[in-house]
């Protein structure tokens, strides 16, 4: 497909990296230096210019564009460029929109203005953090099939009920229908079989129905003597902090925000009911002790500086905070999580790229098995993809034991109506099934590609 990306910053560059191998990608940015850097790094066409000028869009062959993606730093530019692109015959348009004032207008913009997808990275990041705080034992938690299936990342600690358990014995041990899809052991990433034995220190990715996952967390909470998060401190009162504070209050969690900008503190105080807003420097250790930050059940570091968030998170962990969540955007720093023993790392940039990539993959194979959900995990080394089987195929109604999967692939679950199936050899795929696939391969856009 022909894809135009407007904005060559962090998100635009990350999108170019993942899309350029499969599509014809053109990037538009005002900065000639940034465009030259992207051209040197990736197999893309670059245009230095104003994306609101029709002549620039014509130079990018807008009339051939299958998907137009606007991810500049300005919401208004993103929206307006999508409207212009749509008038110039671009087929699908995606806009990154971060200002909360646009939240209530998203349906109007999609239905009346023809913008196919509106992505709010800050709201989505807040959602991810809220899910992790709901289940503090999880490092990350994702959902499929409209919340009916969960994919959780968990670290196995010494003395855990999961330590030294073979996967074939796991469901019997837990008395729950769960599946371990992938295991990260040191630098090694493994798609395990039934004989695989879990060790302390392993990071596991497991799927289960939402109800089974809730029971699972309750069982390990009893073993670990973990407490439900009742209080949280957010260091940084930006857009992610605003959305997160709203969600945590709805969950019954007591919230305190520490924000250095006095005007922003006034805004947050006006907009957020029953949230304590402290005006001060979140890096001031004396202030953190004075506000009893380390007595909170959870600390979430949300400043605009990655390194600052990492250091504050380490400080919170060293002072006994049970659950710490760190906002980081730079991939090189995200890879430090294991080395520094950080709990959960959330990246608005990665969430945005995943959501847009999911849409692109779905449009790439719109007549076949649509992708409805896609997550890139373990520093982009693992993909979890949900397909929906729309029509009869040669692998439908065939027992899985008679189908040959490509290497590095696991069918993690089948959702049939309201039923979740943890697949075994005699199970079959059927039309209208949702199928969750875990793979170390990249670029799958159709379910048929998983079969050899």
The H-or-E segment that residue 68 falls in is strand 67-70
Q: Which two tokens stand for residue 343?
A: 């709990």
Q: Which two tokens stand for residue 44?
A: 């893309």
| DSSP conformation letters of 337-386 | HHHHT-SEEE-HHHHHHHHHHHHHHHHHTTTSSEEEEEEEETTTTEEEEE
DSSP-assigned beta bridge partners for residue 383: 376, 439
H-only helix segments in 106-147 = 106-111, 121-134
Pick the CATH number of 365-450 from 2.40.160.40, 3.40.50.970, 3.10.20.30, 3.30.70.1450: 3.30.70.1450
Helix (H, G, I), strand (E, B) or coil at 55: helix
CA distance 169 to 165: 7
Q: 125-224 — its CATH code?
A: 3.30.70.1450
pLDDT at 104: 72
Q: Give the start-to-end residue ranges of the domains of the chain.
A: 2-119, 125-224, 231-346, 365-450
pLDDT at 221: 64
Q: Which CATH class is domain 231-346?
A: alpha beta
CA distance 389 to 397: 12
pLDDT at 225: 46
pLDDT at 199: 93
Per CATH, 125-224 and 365-450 having the same topology is answered yes
Distances (CA, A) of 256 to 241, 265, 310, 325: 10, 12, 19, 15
Residue ranges, the chain, pLDDT below 50: 223-225
CB atoms under 10 Å from CB of 435, counted, come to 24
Work out the angle between the directed axes of helices 32-41 and 10-19 (0-180°, nearest 10). 30
Q: Which residue has the tokens 């570091």?
A: 301
Q: Under a CB-based contact definition with an 8 Å cutoff, are residues 396 and 167 in contact?
A: no
Residues near 183 by beta carbon (within 8 Å), at least 6 away in sequence: 189, 190, 192, 196, 198, 202, 203, 204, 205
Could you tell me the sign of the dihedral formed by the alpha carbons of 47, 51, 52, 57, in that order? Answer: positive
**Tens-digit pLDDT profile for residues 385-435:** 999 998 888 999 999 999 999 989 999 999 998 889 989 889 999 999 999
Q: Which residue has the tokens 């709201």?
A: 123
Q: Which CATH class is domain 2-119?
A: alpha beta
Rounded to two decimals, the pTM is: 0.85
CA distance 238 to 326: 14
DSSP 449: G
pLDDT at 102: 79
CA distance 256 to 219: 30
pLDDT at 223: 46
Distance of CA 401 to the CA centre of its chain: 32
Q: Render the burial of 132-154: b for 16+ CB within 10 Å, e for the rest.
A: bbbbbbbbbbbbbbeebbbbbbb
């Amino acid at each position: 497909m022909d894809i135009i990306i407007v904005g060559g910053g962090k998100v635009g560059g990350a999108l170019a990296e993942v899309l350029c191998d499969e599509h014809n990608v053109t990037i538009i940015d005002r900065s000639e230096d940034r465009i030259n850097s992207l051209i040197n790094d990736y197999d893309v066409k670059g245009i230095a210019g104003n994306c609101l000028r029709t002549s620039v869009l014509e130079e990018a062959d807008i009339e051939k564009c299958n998907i137009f993606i606007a991810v500049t730093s300005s919401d208004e530019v993103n929206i307006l460029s999508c409207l212009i692109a749509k008038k110039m015959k671009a087929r699908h348009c995606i806009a990154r929109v971060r200002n909360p004032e646009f939240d209530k207008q998203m349906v109007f913009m999609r239905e009346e203005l023809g913008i196919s997808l509106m992505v709010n990275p800050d709201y989505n990041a807040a959602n991810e953090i809220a899910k992790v705080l709901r289940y503090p034992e999880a490092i990350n938690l994702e959902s499929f099939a409209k919340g009916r299936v969960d994919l959780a990342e968990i670290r196995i600690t010494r003395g855990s009920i999961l330590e030294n358990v073979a996967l074939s014995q796991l469901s019997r041990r837990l008395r729950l229908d769960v599946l371990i899809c992938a295991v990260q052991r040191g630098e090694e990433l493994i798609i395990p079989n039934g004989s695989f034995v879990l060790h302390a220190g392993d990071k596991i990715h497991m799927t289960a129905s939402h109800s089974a996952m809730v029971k699972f967390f309750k069982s390990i909470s009893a073993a670990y003597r973990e407490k439900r998060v009742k209080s949280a401190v957010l260091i940084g009162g930006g857009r992610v902090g605003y959305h997160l504070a709203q969600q945590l209050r709805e969950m019954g969690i007591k919230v305190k925000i520490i924000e250095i900008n006095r005007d922003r503190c006034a805004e947050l105080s006006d907009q957020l009911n029953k949230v304590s807003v402290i005006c001060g420097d979140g890096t001031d250790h004396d202030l953190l002790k004075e506000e009893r930050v380390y007595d909170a059940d959870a600390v979430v570091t949300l400043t605009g500086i990655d390194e600052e968030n990492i250091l504050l998170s380490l400080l919170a962990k060293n002072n006994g905070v049970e659950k710490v969540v760190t906002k980081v955007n730079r991939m090189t720093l995200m890879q430090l999580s294991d080395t520094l023993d950080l709990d959960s790392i959330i990246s608005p940039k990665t969430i945005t790229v995943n959501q847009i990539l999911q849409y692109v993959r779905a449009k790439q194979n719109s007549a076949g098995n649509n992708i409805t959900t896609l997550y890139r995990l373990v520093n982009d080394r693992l993909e979890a993809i949900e397909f929906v089987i729309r029509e009869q195929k040669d692998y439908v109604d065939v027992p899985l034991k008679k189908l040959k999967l490509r290497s590095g692939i696991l069918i993690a679950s089948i959702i049939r109506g309201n039923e979740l199936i943890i697949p075994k050899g005699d199970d079959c795929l059927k039309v209208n099934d949702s199928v969750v696939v875990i793979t170390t391969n990249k670029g799958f856009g159709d379910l048929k590609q998983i079969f050899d």
